Every structure is written in C-alpha cells, then in structure tokens.
C-alpha cells in the first residue's frame, strides 16, 4: 500500500541526527552531499526507517563539488529498493551557505520526479542543528518542474521529527 501523502513525513530524531552527520562528513565542509530517505515498500505510514547517501549508489556523485547523479546510480538505487523492499519518500541534500531555497538546478533536476515527492535542503554543508528542522528547506514536487515551498505553506507540516 502506498503511503498517504497528506500525512506528514515522520523522521525519527536519531535517524535524522545520523543523516545530518553523514552529510556533514561526506561534504567535508567543501562540497554538497545528499541522501535518499526510505520507508518499507508496502507501508501505509509515512515514517522514514532508513537512508542511504547518494555516493553509495553513484561513487562519482560528488566529484564536481555539486551533486551530479548518473544513470548508473539510479540503476543501483532501484535495485536496492527492489532487494530491500523499500520506497523512496524523500531526498535531502546540502547547500554551501545558510540559504535553503531551491536553486534553478534543484528545480529543474528533481532527484525523484514523481508528484508528491519531498525534497529537503540542509544549510552549511550539513553543519546545522540535528535536533530541529527549523533551518531546513522543505519542498513538494508538483510535477512539470514545479514545486511547493512547504516552509511557508499551511499550518500542518510536510515533514516532522518524531521520537521513533
């Protein structure tokens, strides 16, 4: 069963902390890094249970300083999802400064171009508080290279940290 996109995406705090520290380490303070966020394939819950960084699927993803994810990486990603019975609910990547808006490149190149997919942007190459989403950009893909900025949208959050 696919998850209900009207419910907030829940990310356990400990998983989020591990993710932020992984982005920080992989970016080494000099380049962007990113990850895919997974949930069990047939779960009706929008709860993230795992993540995997882009370079686990595409070892060349960070070579240019910005993220370039290649076809071989997608093939490896889809195989990983099939083998582990996972669905991708979101992706996250880091930006160099404090700005967490979407660049033109971000808008024109969604990692998962599926309506309702969530993209998060963390500032300062991952050097951001791990206990909060306050400084994180949150965007919903609407299709046709259009996005909704969920930081300024409704009172109900698109993404929330959970205890577990």
Q: What is the pLDDT of residue 117?
A: 95
Q: What residues make up the domain containing 81? A: 9-162
Residue 66 in any domain: the answer is yes
DSSP 47: B
Distance CA 144, CA 164 (A): 34
Q: What is the pLDDT of residues 105-135, one digit of tens each?
A: 999 999 999 999 999 999 999 999 889 999 9
Query: pTM for this one?
Result: 0.93
Helices (H), the chain: 13-27, 54-57, 71-84, 104-108
Q: Which CATH number fits the domain that encloses residue 154?
A: 3.40.140.10
Q: Examine residue 149 and state whether it is found in any structural domain, yes or no.
A: yes
Confirm whether 126 is domain-assigned: yes
| Token pair for 152 | 């300024």
Q: How confident is the model at residue 15 (pLDDT cuts 50, 70, 90)?
A: very high
Report the number of distinct structural domains present in the chain: 1
In a domain, 3, yes or no: no
Structural domain includes residue 1: no
**Where does the pLDDT of residue 1 fall: very low under 50, low under 70, confident under 90, or very high at 90 and above?**
very low
Q: Is the pLDDT of residue 91 over 80?
A: yes
Q: Identify the pLDDT of residue 64.
A: 84
Mean pLDDT of the chain: 92
Residue 36 backbone dihedrals phi, psi, to 5 degrees? -100, 145
Model pLDDT for residues 32-49, shown as the tens digit of each residue: 999 999 999 998 889 999
């Amino acid at each position: 069963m696919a998850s209900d996109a009207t419910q907030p995406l829940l990310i356990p705090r400990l998983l989020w902390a591990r993710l932020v520290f992984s982005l920080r380490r992989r970016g080494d303070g000099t380049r962007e890094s990113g990850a895919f966020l997974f949930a069990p394939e047939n779960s009706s819950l929008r709860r993230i249970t795992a993540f995997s960084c882009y370079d686990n699927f595409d070892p060349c993803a960070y070579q240019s300083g910005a993220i370039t994810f290649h076809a071989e990486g997608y093939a490896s990603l889809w195989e990983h999802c099939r083998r582990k019975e996972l669905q991708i609910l979101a992706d996250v990547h880091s930006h160099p400064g404090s700005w967490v808006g979407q660049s033109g490149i971000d808008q024109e190149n969604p990692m998962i171009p599926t309506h309702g997919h969530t993209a998060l942007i963390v500032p300062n190459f991952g050097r951001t508080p791990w206990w909060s989403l306050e400084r994180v950009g949150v965007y919903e893909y609407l299709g046709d290279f259009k996005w909704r900025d969920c930081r300024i949208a409704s009172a109900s959050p698109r993404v929330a940290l959970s205890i577990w």
